[in-house]
Amino acid sequence: MGRNFGVSIWLCGVACAAAVGRLGAADLDSAPVYYATAPDNNPVARLQLELDTGRAKLAFDREKGYLPAILKALEVPVSSQVLVFSKTSLQRNRIAPKTPRAIYFNDEVYVGYCQSGEVMEFSAADPALGTVFYTLEQQAEEAPRFKRQAEACLICHGSSAAQGFPGHLARSVYADTEGQPIFSLGTSRVEHSTPLEKRWGGWYVTGSNPGREHRGNMILPKNTRHQPRKNPHGTECSDLKEFFATEDYLSPHSDLVALMVFEHQTEVHNRLTRVALETQLVLHQQKEFDRILGRKEAGNSDSTSRRIDSACESLVQYLFFAEEAALGGQVKGFNSFASEFSKKGPHDALGRTLRDFDLKDRLYRYPLSYMILSHSFEQLPVVARDVAIGKVVQVIREGNCDKKYAHLTAAIRREISEVLAGVSPLWKERLAKN
């Protein structure tokens, strides 16, 4: 079962197409990436090393298996819990409106849990490999072991929907009373440009959203043929007990703010992965061309530079929340996620952080993603990181004639610059130099 787990889409709201895009698993397993065999370096891999050397132990809970111990070991907050009830993974027989699947996350790791599931599911941000997938059997073991998943996972997680790179795909679907997606009613891929009224089909949502009626908490009769016009639970829900036994989960919530952060962050990881792997690939191809043609120190070709620039531009636009959908009114969650997330910082001398929320017009107060400070960004290949940094600095200083940056007024760009320089000496130096 473990080796086939990659065919599931535990971060999706719908099964993905089996067709692989222009960059498939076979390409990733070749030079220079060697996705399936290259050493991994991420929080899950480091935890496995701790377990192997005896420096860490995982307690096994009779009801929830390794889940509580794993969250503690990986520093993943319980408040991040979001719940999906559509049957869209290998453990689909465990998932239904009465037994939703829980996902927990921090900046670098995602953890999937099914009640009575045979495995737990993980993905982690890896500087060299992008997104790496693992499973852990839910059986008490003296030496528990994370199993790295590669080829099978890339059938979906490396498909054209993820531009051929290993990544996440969050979707909104209409689901029936058994959790079966009703594909005839359509699906929506979800990230921060998705209007709220198209989000969270097949997911539970706790929180208040008076401006827009979303698709969360909506369970349709079997064989429904038309999209419903109204969702009685689509603007506010504080208690999920009418849907399932919330006491069976670590939290009674599937927080609205956590869902929005989750959707934004997974897409940032997707674009970071594209930059990291695309750069490795094109530089390797450039080196091979130079070798064949007998060129020495010829520098990067225009084609190589353009491909790196294109990947970086896509990342930078998303980091600046280009085309972010307006929230349309004050939204809020009903648990501690938002406050815990903001407290994580870092904060400048005035107490500001890129993690400060707005939650009225847009997700964050400052439209520059906190992921600009992530390990994944800093560990991008040097040539790509320098291109991305240059683009970030240019947008902050000068704005951009591209309409995708029209939301960044001079006042907003000035405040972003102050906060970024105030929380990161490294970025303070970069902003002063460029």
Whether 255 and 238 have beta carbons less than 8 Å apart is answered as no
pLDDT at 5: 35
**Mind listing the pLDDT tens digit for each residue in 244-259?**
999 999 999 999 999 9
Q: Distance between CA 273 and CA 282 in Å, rounded?
A: 14
Whether 33 and 23 have beta carbons less than 8 Å apart is answered as no
Q: Tell which wins on pLDDT, 25 or 53.
A: 53
Beta pairing class for 219-220 and 175-176 = parallel
Peptide bond before residue 221 is cis, with ω within 30 degrees of 0:
no
pLDDT at 9: 36
Banded pLDDT at 10 (limits 50, 70, 90)? very low
Q: What is the average per-residue pLDDT within 332-358?
A: 97
Which segment of 89-103, 334-348, 368-382 scores lowest on mean pLDDT? 89-103
How long is the chain? Answer: 434
Q: Where are the domains of the chain?
A: 2-256, 271-433
Q: What is the average per-residue pLDDT within 316-328?
A: 96
Q: Tell me the average pLDDT of the chain.
A: 90
Q: In what side-by-side order are the strands of the sheet with 101-105?
A: 147-149, 130-137, 119-126, 109-113, 101-105, 82-84, 203-204
Which segment of 99-113, 310-324, 348-362, 395-409 scores lowest on mean pLDDT? 395-409
Percent of the chain scoring above 90 in pLDDT: 78
Percent of the chain scoring above 70 in pLDDT: 90
pLDDT at 167: 87
pLDDT at 70: 98
pLDDT at 394: 95
Banded pLDDT at 95 (limits 50, 70, 90)? very high
* DSSP-derived secondary structure for 66-90: THHHHHHHHT--GGG-EEE-S--ST
Beta pairing class for 109-113 and 101-105 = antiparallel
**Mind listing the pLDDT tens digit for each residue in 127-185?**
999 999 999 999 999 999 999 987 655 555 555 555 678 889 899 999 999 999 999 99
pTM of the predicted model, to two decimals? 0.92
Assess whether pLDDT exceeds 60 at residue 11: no
